[in-house]
Chain A
Amino acid sequence: MKSSKIICSESPLDKPNEKTYYENNLKIVEGFSNEDLKIIEKIKNKEFESRQIFELKLKSEETAKQSEIKELISYPLIKKNLTYNLPHQQEGALKILRDLDGRALLADEVGLGKTITAGMVLKECIVRGFVRRALILTPPSLVNQWKEELKTKFELDFTEINKESEWEKTEFAIASIDKVKNFNPQTNEFKHGQAHQIYWDIIIIDEAHKLKDKNTYRWKFVDKLQKKRLLLLTATPFQNDLIELYNLLSLLRRGHLGTISEFRSNFLVDGNERQPLNPRELKRKLSEVMIRRRRDEAKGVKYMKRIPRIQSVEMTPSEKRAYEQVVDLLLVHYLDFNGVPINTVLAAHSILPKITSSSKSSIEFLENLINNPKYHTSTVEIAQEILQDFKELTIDSKLSKLIDLMNEIMARDKSKKVLIYTKHPATLEYISNTLKKQNFNVTEFKGGLTPAEKTKRIQDFKDKTQIMVSTETGSEGLNLQFCSIIINYDLPWNPMSVEQRIGRLDRIGQKSDIYVYNLATKGTMEEHVVDLIINKMCCIGLIMGELPIILFNMGLDSSGATGANKFEEKLMHAFIDSKNNLSRFAIEVDKVENEINKGIKDYEKTKKYTSELLDT
Chain B
Amino acid sequence: MKNENTSKKFLLEFFKDSDIEDKEGVLTINNASEDFEKFIGKKSPYKFVFDIYTHNKINNSDLIMQGSYFLLAIRDYLENKGQTSLVKIQAIPSKSVLSKLKGERKFYEFSFITTYQYLNDKKQSLNKFFIKDEKILDIDVSKFKTHKGNKEDIKDFDPSEDYQIAKKKLHEKVSAEIKPIKSVLKKKLERELTRIKDHYAKQIKEKDDEVDSCVNKIKLLQSKLRHTSYERDRNIIMRLIRESHERLKMLKKRSYKERLKVEEEFHIKDEVEKHALSIKNTLINITAYYF
Contacts and interface: CB of A to CB of B under 8 A. Distances in A.
Most chain B CB atoms below 10 A, which of A28, A42, A60:
A60
Contacts of B113: 61
Contact of B277 (A27, A54, A69, A125): A27
Contacts of B159: 40, 43-44
A66 B66 CA distance: 6
A26 interface: yes
B20 interface: no
Interface stretch (A6-14, A187-195, A343-351): A6-14
B286 interface: yes
A65 B3 CA distance: 11
Interface in B85-120: 85-87, 108, 111, 113, 115, 117, 119-120
A58 B126 contact: yes
B36 interface: no
A31 interface: yes
B149 interface: yes
Given A1-B265, A13-B278, A73 B65 contact: yes
A49 B84 contact: yes
B67 A259 contact: no
A227 B269 CA distance: 10
A69 B171 CA distance: 27
A255 B263 CA distance: 12
Interface string A255-278: 110110110000000000000000
Interface in B232-291: 262-263, 265-270, 272-288
Contact of A11 (B14, B85, B196, B278): B278
Contacts of A59: 10, 13
A254 B199 contact: yes
Contacts of A1: 265, 268-269, 272
Nearest to B73: A64
A98 B120 contact: yes
A102 B288 CA distance: 45
B66 to A, nearest CB: 6
A67 B66 contact: yes
The size class of the interface chain B forms with chain A is 35 or more
Contact of A39 (B83, B156, B158, B193): B83
Interface in A27-73: 27-33, 35-36, 39-40, 42-44, 46-69, 71, 73
B29 interface: no
Contacts of B190: 24-25
Given A25-B272, A48-B86, A53-B82, A63 B283 contact: no
A51 B148 contact: yes
A583 interface: no
A494 interface: no
Given A30-B279, A67-B66, A127-B72, A256 B83 contact: no
B55 interface: yes
A539 to B, nearest CB: 35
A54 B82 contact: yes
B163 A40 contact: yes
A54 B7 contact: no
A261 B207 CA distance: 11
Given A76-B62, A98-B120, A66 B67 contact: yes
A226 interface: yes
A39 B122 CA distance: 25
Contacts of B285: 39, 54, 57
A228 B269 CA distance: 11
B286 A60 contact: no
Given A63-B66, A68-B121, A27 B286 contact: no
B199 A255 contact: yes
Interface stretch (B129-137, B181-189, B211-219, B221-229): B181-189
Contacts of A23: 182, 186
B69 interface: yes
Nearest to B150: A48
B68 interface: yes
B278 to A, nearest CB: 5
Most chain B CB atoms below 10 A, which of A48, A98, A224:
A48
Contacts of A536: none
B81 interface: yes
Contacts of B111: 54, 58
Contacts of B195: 253-256
B160 interface: yes
A213 B272 CA distance: 27
Contact of B78 (A29, A48, A56, A128): A56
Contacts of A75: 63
Contacts of A161: none
Given A39-B84, A97-B120, A32 B287 contact: no
A44 B14 CA distance: 29
A97 B122 CA distance: 13
B167 interface: yes
B272 A27 contact: yes
Nearest to A70: B66
B22 interface: no
A447 interface: no
A101 interface: yes
B157 interface: yes
B43 interface: no
A77 interface: yes
A130 interface: yes
A2 B265 contact: yes
B37 interface: no
B206 interface: yes
B278 A64 contact: no
B82 A36 contact: no
Contact of B63 (A67, A76, A261): A76
A39 B281 CA distance: 14
B145 interface: no
A318 to B, nearest CB: 57
Most chain A CB atoms below 10 A, which of B71, B196, B280:
B280
A56 B13 contact: yes
Given A31-B279, A60-B71, A227-B270, A26 B120 contact: no
Contacts of B67: 63-67, 73, 128
Contacts of A4: 269
B33 interface: no
A1 B269 CA distance: 7
A30 B111 CA distance: 17
Given A36-B163, A129-B117, A262 B189 contact: no
B183 to A, nearest CB: 10
A74 interface: yes
Given A33-B281, A67-B67, A44 B158 contact: yes
Contacts of B7: 63
B198 interface: yes
B165 interface: no
Contact of B157 (A36, A43, A63): A43
Complex A-B, nearest 3 residue pairs according to Cβ-Cβ distance, in ascending order: A255-B199, A53-B82, A66-B67
9 contacts: A24-B186, A25-B272, A42-B83, A53-B78, A64-B72, A73-B68, A73-B72, A76-B68, A259-B199
Given A44-B159, A57-B81, A65-B67, 20 more contacts: A1-B268, A24-B186, A25-B189, A26-B275, A27-B275, A29-B276, A43-B288, A54-B82, A54-B284, A56-B78, A57-B82, A61-B284, A62-B10, A69-B120, A77-B69, A127-B72, A226-B269, A253-B195, A255-B196, A259-B206
